Amino acid sequence: MHLRTLGQGLEVSAIGLGCMGMSQSYGPNPGDRDDMIAVLRSAVDLGVTFFDTAEVYGPYANEELVGEALEPVRHQVTIATKFGWDIQGGKSVGLNSRPEQIRAVADASLARLRTDVIDLFYQHRVDPDVPIEDVAGTVGELVAQGKVRHLGLSEASATTIRRAHATFPVTALQSEYSLWTRDPEAEVLPTVAELGIGFVPFSPLGKGFLTGTVDQRTSFADGDVRSTIPRFTQQNREANHALVDHVSALAASKGATPGQVALAWLLAQQPWIVPIPGTRRTSRIEENAGSTVVPLSADDLADLDDLAQRVGVHGDRYNEVHMGYVGR
């Protein structure tokens, strides 16, 4: 696995692993915890060193899973987790990035992750009730105390990124970015490029759609978040398949999979972009790692660059409630 460098010199594998789906959001959770531990450890064997979790995934169960799985190899990996939600009775009921909450979450996450330091601590969503300077300053204090190594933000606007970075250096900005979600390109990517901040795309495979395994005939299980997303209605899936058909044809010509082409396109955008596709299967981790050697020519990249605009993308990437949390 190739390595890449985010902001502040943080070096990680070119492809990370988003761990959320091992505990929530994609239908029934895996029944055997040991199976997920084995998948996480196999990722390390395949060269993945960057693992993404959050207290709200579960809640708490995902951090506990990641902590148990990676404890024997903790010195080999970078673990990112997140704060920023008000979790009551096992559910998030809103945002909370008050300094005292950030400190409490850090201590609780350290225990669940079975570690003495959090490598990358993201604000999961920007809290409009707490100045970002207070958030960045609090994480800076945790860095000074040795509990955290780096500050990250997620789904923040360019203005917020600048304000946070002026208070304490931001290492990574995490937002949704893929061949069919191009929102960061207008303002966020130029901002992080200017400031020397790394970019971590989540859902780089379009929540599975860009792999070609989801179509208008797919039925989503109970608890699958895609059943609540406008982009995944049956009608929109049918309309959006023109994009996947194009990617699939290019992949076939390269001896690659559609998912590998989608990841290779992201990797080609900037050397400080590190996608974190999620999966529950070792075979998918191996496939995703193979994207680092998929050859895309300048013509291939130019064709993919304007693909979404050319064929159109139908449906919002979140429902109305969740869209309210992004871009602040």
Find the catalytic residue in 57, 122, 177, 318. Answer: 57
How far apart are the C-alpha atoms of 305 and 144, rounded to whole Å?
Answer: 42
Amino acid (one-letter) located at 279: T
Tokens of 128: 């409009």
CB of 40 within 8 A of CB of 19?
yes
The residue whose two tokens read 């699939």 is 248
The helix/strand/coil state of 188 is helix
For residue 58, pLDDT beyond 80: yes
Grade residue 88 by pLDDT with cuts at 50, 70 and 90: very high
Band (pLDDT 50/70/90 cuts) for residue 132 is very high
> For this structure, is 26 an active site residue?
no
209: its two tokens: 């759609």
For each of the domains in the chain, give its residue range(s) and CATH number, in order of start: 3-323 (3.20.20.100)
Tens digit of each residue's pLDDT (9 = 90 or more) over 5-44: 999 999 999 999 999 999 988 888 877 899 999 999 999 9
- Return the residue matching tokens 């999979």: 257
Q: Where are the alpha helices (DSSP H) in the chain?
A: 33-45, 61-70, 99-113, 132-144, 158-167, 188-195, 234-254, 258-269, 282-289, 298-305, 307-311, 320-323
Tell me the percentage of the chain whose pLDDT exceeds 70: 100
Cβ atoms of 105 and 39 closer than 8 Å: no
Give the separation between CA 113 and CA 324, rounded to whole angstroms: 30
Q: What is the pLDDT of residue 140?
A: 98
At a CB cut-off of 8 Å and minimum separation 6, what does 213 contact?
none
Contact 266, 15 (CB under 8 A): no
pLDDT, average across residues 61-77: 98
Number of Cβ within 10 Å of residue 164's Cβ equals 27
